[in-house]
């Protein structure tokens, strides 16, 4: 995308009928570190890559609990994401207070989308520079939505946003038909595999990713590092055994956990997952 005379203001249309400021806002989402989401009939898993500015700093929080039944992962301007999460929490609390029942996810995403749309039609505002993966459970089942800075929202079986998300999307596209009936643990494993795809060869460790789950009988919560590392160890080996093209860094992990090889062998569902990380 190149600069042109129609992109100064969000209230200026281009002759081709585009709002460039809105599209630039969507670019900001692509610059953020990856966030992925996938769902089955009963559970939704959100994952994200923890990217820190420098070795000295901590990473930014990208997954937020909105309510017991709703959580959100963001990519892009995390400040905007934080503010929108606060809005979502507020809406959820107010709805529960008035109706004594949990806010249906579909309602929340529409409110979010309308809020984003306002910023695309005011000369004194700018669009939110953040994409949100909203995961929620309500009476109609498990849902995963993607909210765009443009004010659009879409429902997904699985999706990835942020930098190098194409790699994750490709993985998810290959596997998504299995997700609906997947068990919770396999769903988390798929999420971790998708996150790994975005890492481009870097070893997947629990310190560089965050995973959160929400499901039937399971309120939204972020999995702690230990649990995540255990799950990584469990499937990483399978990837090493089945996939000759798996990243070389994983071999160190394999040596450390060689005894688990036999137990991991019967996780046959992931036999075709041992593929090389894709370039974007």
Partner 1 sequence: MTKQQANWSPYDNNGGSCVAIAGADYCVIAADTRMSTGYNILTREYSKICKLADKCVMASSGFQADVKALQKQLAARHLIYQHQHNKQMSCPAMAQLLSNTLYYKRFFPYYSFNVLGGLDNEGKGCVFTYDAVGSYEKVGYSSQGYGSTLIMPFLDNQLKSPSPLLLPVQDAVTPLVEAEAVDLVKTVFASASERDIYTGDKLEIVVVNAAGIRREYMELRKD
| 97 scored as a contact of partner 1 (CB under 8 A) | yes
Closer residue to partner 1, CB minimum distance, 99 or 154: 99
CB 142 within 8 A of CB 183: no
Residue 110, helix vs strand vs coil: helix
- Rounded Cα distance between 167 and 174, Å, is 11
Closer residue to partner 1, CB minimum distance, 64 or 159: 64
Closer residue to partner 1, CB minimum distance, 8 or 90: 90
How far the first Cα of the chain sits from its last, in Å, is 18
Contact positions with partner 1 (CB under 8 A) in 52-81:
65
Q: Helix %, strand %, coil % for the chain, to 5?
A: 45, 20, 35
Taking the complex as a whole, how short is the minimal distance between the CB of residue 90 and partner 1, in angstroms? 8
Taking the complex as a whole, how short is the minimal distance between the CB of residue 97 and partner 1, in angstroms? 5
- Rounded Cα distance between 231 and 257, Å, is 12
The count of residues interacting with partner 1 (CB under 8 A) is: 8
| 18 scored as a contact of partner 1 (CB under 8 A) | no
Output the CA–CA distances (angstroms, integers) from residue 269 to 126, 180, 189, in the order listed: 46, 14, 11
Q: Which of 30, 89, 107, 205 binds partner 1 (CB under 8 A)?
A: 89
Closer residue to partner 1, CB minimum distance, 13 or 99: 99
- Here the tokens at position 280 are 């974007």
| 96 scored as a contact of partner 1 (CB under 8 A) | yes
| 93 scored as a contact of partner 1 (CB under 8 A) | yes
Other CB atoms within 10 Å distance of the CB of residue 61? 15
Taking the complex as a whole, how short is the minimal distance between the CB of residue 61 and partner 1, in angstroms? 10
| 82 scored as a contact of partner 1 (CB under 8 A) | no
Tokens 């009988």 appear where? 217
Closer residue to partner 1, CB minimum distance, 174 or 221: 221
| 225 scored as a contact of partner 1 (CB under 8 A) | no
Output the CA–CA distances (angstroms, integers) from residue 169 to 24, 188, 196, 198, 203, in the order listed: 21, 16, 12, 9, 19
Candidates 49-57, 83-91, 160-168, 241-249 — which segment interacts with partner 1 by CB under 8 A? 83-91
- Here the tokens at position 72 are 């959100």
Taking the complex as a whole, how short is the minimal distance between the CB of residue 277 and partner 1, in angstroms? 34
Interface ranges with partner 1 (CB under 8 A): 65, 86, 89-90, 93-94, 96-97
């Amino acid at each position: 995308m190149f600069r042109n005379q129609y992109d100064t203001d969000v209230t200026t249309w281009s002759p081709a009928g585009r709002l460039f400021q809105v599209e630039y806002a969507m670019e900001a989402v692509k610059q953020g570190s990856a966030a992925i989401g996938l769902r089955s009939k009963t559970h939704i898993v959100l994952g994200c890559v923890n990217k820190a500015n420098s070795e000295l700093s901590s990473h930014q929080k990208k997954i937020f609990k909105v309510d017991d039944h709703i959580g959100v992962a963001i990519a892009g301007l995390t400040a905007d994401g934080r503010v929108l999460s606060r809005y979502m929490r507020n809406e959820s609390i107010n709805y529960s207070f008035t109706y004594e029942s949990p806010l249906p996810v579909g309602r929340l995403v529409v409110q979010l989308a309308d809020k984003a749309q306002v910023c695309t039609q005011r000369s004194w505002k700018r669009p939110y520079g953040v994409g949100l993966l909203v995961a929620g459970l309500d009476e109609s089942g498990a849902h995963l939505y993607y909210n765009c800075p443009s004010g659009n929202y879409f429902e997904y079986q699985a999706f990835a946003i942020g930098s190098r998300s194409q790699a994750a999307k490709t993985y998810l596209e290959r596997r998504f038909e299995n997700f609906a009936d997947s068990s919770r643990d396999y769903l988390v494993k798929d999420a971790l595999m998708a996150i790994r795809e975005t890492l481009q060869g870097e070893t997947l460790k629990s310190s560089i990713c965050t995973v959160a789950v929400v499901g039937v009988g399971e309120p939204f919560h972020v999995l702690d590092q230990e649990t995540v590392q255990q799950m990584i160890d469990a499937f990483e080996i399978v990837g090493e055994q089945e996939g000759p093209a798996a990243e070389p860094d994983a071999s160190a992990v394999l040596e450390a956990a060689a005894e688990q090889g036999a137990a991991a062998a019967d996780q046959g569902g992931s036999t075709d997952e041992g593929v090389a990380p894709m370039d974007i």
